[in-house]
Amino acid sequence: MIYTLTLNPAVDRELTVPAMEFDSVLRASESRVDFGGKGFNVSRLLKGMEEPSTAVGFLGGNAGELLQSGLQSLGIGTDFVWVIGETRTNVSIVTQTHEHYIKVNEKGPLVDSAKQKELLEKIDSLAKQGDWWVLAGSMLPGVADDFYARIVNVLNKHEANAILDTTGEALRLGCAEKPYLIKPNAEEVHALTGMPVDSTTEIASAAAELRKMGAQNVVISMGKAGALMQSAEETWLTHSPKIQEKNPIGAGDSMVGGLVWALTQGIALKESLGWGVASGAATASLSGTEVGSRPLIEELFKQVRFEKFEAV
């Protein structure tokens, strides 16, 4: 079973205007609402791969109801802890030419210790040996940076597999609990370790540092260049297929979705990352907030190249 955890989801509202003007009333020519959250994006990709998942996390208020019903309408299972307050709404205003935008993100509701304990207990009751849990995204008000670490500890107790996709102190503390895999991007690795990431050799060295922090396996996404995977035994570069990029937003989440899908099929980690890279490329090749379909991902996977990295 695959679970995706999103602590601070959002209703993403996008308004399209002819031109950006300040101190004026603008009229939107288009509007759309999406279900925002890194874990949700992973679940959407898994749905396209015909793999069920259950979305877990905190929701509150009318915005939370909207998100839950939206996920369920897509055929994604849900099991949330409901909090006092309103799940955040993030608003984007973009021009029709996509040359300019303004994006405003809310902080999210304050979650007290009792609700945090309720979520930990829910995870404790759901986790089973061999399950896969994707823990993705930022913290929200009232939740300490060690919360992901506490979740990984619970999952390890049940011999479930944790894939951690977060940043900063939450990632550092999470690594200490030895998750199965972490997936930062190169910039996030530099921010956490202070190490340079301008070359493959430097990225591989930074990955080794993250494993010293406790992560069993490290995947560092490198955008169009693909990704680097390092385990205790080997390091591989996975080169992304060539695509015409239309919207890279959400591609990293699709990478995680394709990766965890492949792992649940019993595919080795190196080849699983290839499926992840193909999934990320598929999503980046599509307009708007679409995610890659299985036929497209399968086609792009054929173009993924693997290169063994030998330390200098």
Catalytic residue positions? Answer: 253
- Long-range Cβ pairs for the range 17-22 (8 Å, 24+): 17/93, 17/94, 17/95, 17/96, 18/95, 18/96, 19/95, 20/93, 20/95, 20/100, 20/102
CB 247 within 8 A of CB 284: yes
Backbone φ and ψ of 216, nearest 5°: -70, -40
| Cα dihedral 102, 10, 192, 215 sign | negative
Residues 154-192 as b/e (b if ≥16 CB within 10 A, e otherwise) read: bbbebebbbbbbbbeebbbbbbebebbbbbbbbebbbeb
Give the three-state DSSP class for 150.
helix
d(CA 64, CA 45): 21
Neighbours of 282 (CB within 10 A): 29
Q: How far apart are CA 254 and CA 166, in angstroms?
A: 15
Q: What are the b/e assignments for 90-123, b being 16+ CB within 10 Å?
A: bebbbeeeeeeeeeeebebbebeeebbebbbeeb
Alpha helix ranges (H) inside 127-197: 147-157, 168-175, 186-193
Query: Distances in Å between the alpha carbon of 40 and those of 31, 45, 195?
Result: 21, 9, 31
Handedness of CA 193, 197, 202, 208 (dihedral sign): positive
